[in-house]
Amino acid sequence: MSSFQNGGAPPRDLDDDSDIEEEALAANYREQVQYEGMEETPMSMAQQTDDIQSRLAAAAQPLDFSAPLDVKFASYDNYCSLFHFILNSDGPVDLEPPSYYWAWDVIDEFIYQFNSFCSYRNRIARQGNNEEEIAILREAPNTWGCYSVLNVLYSLIQRSQINEQLAAMKRNEEPMAVAGDYGSKSLYRMLGYFSIIGLLRVHCLLGDFSLALKTLDDIELNKKAMFARVMAAHFTTYYYVGFSYMMMRRYADAIRMFSHILIYVSRTKNVQKSAQYDSISKKNDQMYALIAICVAFHPTRLDDTIHTALREKYGDQLLKLQRGGPESLPIFEELFRSACPKFISPTPPDFDNPELNVDPLEHHLAIFMDEVKTNMWSPTVKSYLRLYTTMDLKKLAGFLEVEPEKLRGWLLVNKQRGRQIRWTDNGLLDGEVVGSGDLDYAMQGVSGLDSHLRSQGWPQVGGLVSTKLGTNILDDDFFRDGKGAFAW
């Protein structure tokens, strides 16, 4: 409960990402886990004395996935009246949230229900055989509508002045000075803060990946961030940021995000309650699948912990992805399907034309697969170029059994895709174009090709190579070879 009162802690140095901090966080986590067990008694007392407390608690309760439609509708109404009460009472309501993670649970559950309702509605329309439910859904196009969901999230953000508070903290100023009547109360501050994470998620579910990242402008991604106090929030944030980066083809940034959180999970898993760990273990596997995809696009040396786990979980798939070519396509598709968020379409489906209600997943997958196909020859090209410093293009085309014109295209594509935008500072959408750096070449002469291997940057005595981006350990930039063959 106290974690948010600590929110005013000075923002830490970007580079200061040490073990000490991770340990402190793990310790903090342990405390919280213990605390969680103890608080049941006061909560049940609160329920007896105060109706609103029980409503607060109910809002954070997961709704059964198979709940019938009327329960889903009722749940929506409950959320509406609760948020209306919180947002539109005469001044800020004087309530203490039931627990330090309550605000996260409420926003999480609210979005989860929105998500599953939209998916369900779309499925009913697509199948077109449940007349009764179709009739009910047709009558209520605004229930769980995207405008009302966004309205709640944005209102909570605005009421709490949370963006202003975060911006002040970034400038090393006192957030309370800009918090206002609402934002100075922990209930509003917490709801506002987690609504930002909620927005990230909703935008991503709707396929708006750049806006998803933009939403986090005022949040600094580090282990001191408020979301890091609630494991599920920490986890969710990195999953959606990583996924959005991947869809913007910023694979290095995506890998950085996934690696960060997966390392954190692997180091804290012993202190997490087993039930909680189960619920994140699925997302955990999904992120490994996404890392496999990103590494195939952007060969890089991973942290050892990640690399080992990745090989255990997706060893065969990774090998095929890294080999590229048409054989890799089904693997990309399989991993994407299993690891992407449950995309939704924001508007009510077209109940009169069931065929038009394509699952949004298929749509996003199709777009993603086009990019995969564009890149699928890069591994082949690279594997040959690594062997030569100068190479006749027609000869290489002969090896590969393709037309020289096709090969020229592959070479151009590989070179273009080697250049990527990478985050260095400021907002998540910011970044600089960086070459992938492991292999460089240019075409010269009549149908000729001059390829040149760039040095891998071997450690020299007294001059070790280092990475500037290392949020985690010395991973990314060390030796960018997908197979990690250059370990020393």
Residues 391-410 that bind another protein (CB under 8 A): 405, 408-410
Element (H, E) at 433: strand 432-434
How many angstroms separate the CA atoms of 482 and 378, rounded? 13
Task: Quickly count: other Cβ atoms within 10 Å of residue 314's Cβ.
Answer: 20
- Per CB under 8 A, which of residues 467..486 are in contact with another protein? 473-474
CB-based contact 304:424 (threshold 8 Å): no
Q: Which of 451, 471, 476, 482 forms a contact with another protein (CB under 8 A)?
A: 451
270 part of the interface to another protein, by CB under 8 A:
no
Tell me which of 429, 436, 471, 476 binds another protein, using CB under 8 A. 429
| Residue in this structure with the two tokens 């693997």, named with its chain if needed | 331
Q: Min. distance of Cβ 429 from another protein in angstroms?
A: 4
Bridge partners, 422 (sequence order): 432
User: Binders of another protein among 38-67, rule CB under 8 A?
Assistant: none
Q: Which member of 12, 138, 214, 394 binds another protein (CB under 8 A)?
A: 214
Among 37, 48, 426, 488, binds another protein (CB under 8 A): 426
Q: Which of residues 329-388 bind another protein (CB under 8 A)?
A: 345-347, 352-353, 355-360, 362-364, 366-367, 370-371, 373-374
Of 39-47, 321-329, 331-339, 439-447, the segment contacting another protein by CB under 8 A is 439-447
Q: If residue 279 lies in a helix (H) or strand (E), which one and from where to where?
A: helix 274-297
Burial status of residue 306 (CB atoms within 10 A of its CB: 0-12, 13-18, 19 or more): buried
Choose which of 175, 324, 379, 431 interacts with another protein (CB under 8 A).
431
Over its C-alpha atoms, the chain yields an Rg (Å, rounded) of 25
**From CA 384, how far away is CA 378, in angstroms rounded?**
10
Q: Measured from the CB atom, is 34 or 308 closer to another protein? A: 308
Stretch of residues binding another protein (CB under 8 A), selected from 5-13, 56-64, 229-237, 426-434: 426-434
Residue 317 or 378 having the CB closest to another protein: 378
Binding residues for another protein restricted to 303-322, rule: CB under 8 A: 305
Contact 422, 434 (CB under 8 A): yes
* Cβ proximity to another protein, 101 vs 478, nearer residue: 478
Residue with smaller CB distance to another protein, 183 or 431: 431
CB of 414 to another protein, least distance (A): 9
**In angstroms, rounded to a whole number, what is the distance separating the alpha carbons of residues 240 and 257?**
9
CA distance 177 to 23: 32
x-marked contacts with another protein along 122-161 as a string, rule CB under 8 A: ------------------------xx--x---x-------
In the bound complex, what is the minimum distance in angstroms from residue 447's beta carbon to another protein?
7
313 is written with which tokens? 């979980």
Size of the site for another protein (CB under 8 A): 84
CA separation, residue 219 to residues 47, 164, 400 (Å): 34, 11, 48
**74 Cβ partners below 8 Å, 6+ apart?**
none
Nearer to another protein among residue 59 and residue 294 (C-beta): 294
CA distances from 443 to 27, 376, 407, 469 (A): 56, 20, 11, 31
Q: Which is nearer to another protein, 273 or 363 (CB)?
A: 363
DSSP SS3 for 394 = helix
Site for another protein in 71-110 (CB under 8 A): none
Sketch the per residue contact string, 173 through 212, with another protein: x for CB under 8 A, - otherwise: ---------------------------------xxxxxx-
Could you tell me the maximum CA-CA distance found in the chain, to the nearest angstrom? 86
Map tokens 């690399």 to a residue. 307
User: What are the tokens at 457?
Assistant: 């940057």
Tell which residue, 265, 246, 412, 435, has the closest CA to residue 340: 246
**Closer Cβ to another protein, 89 or 347, answer by number:** 347
Minimum CB–partner distance for residue 164 and another protein (Å): 13
Least separation, in Å, of the C-beta of 344 and another protein?
10
**H or E element at residue 421:** strand 420-422
Q: Give least dist CB 21 to another protein, A.
A: 11
Looking at 88-96, 188-196, 234-242, 461-469, which segment touches another protein (CB under 8 A)? 461-469
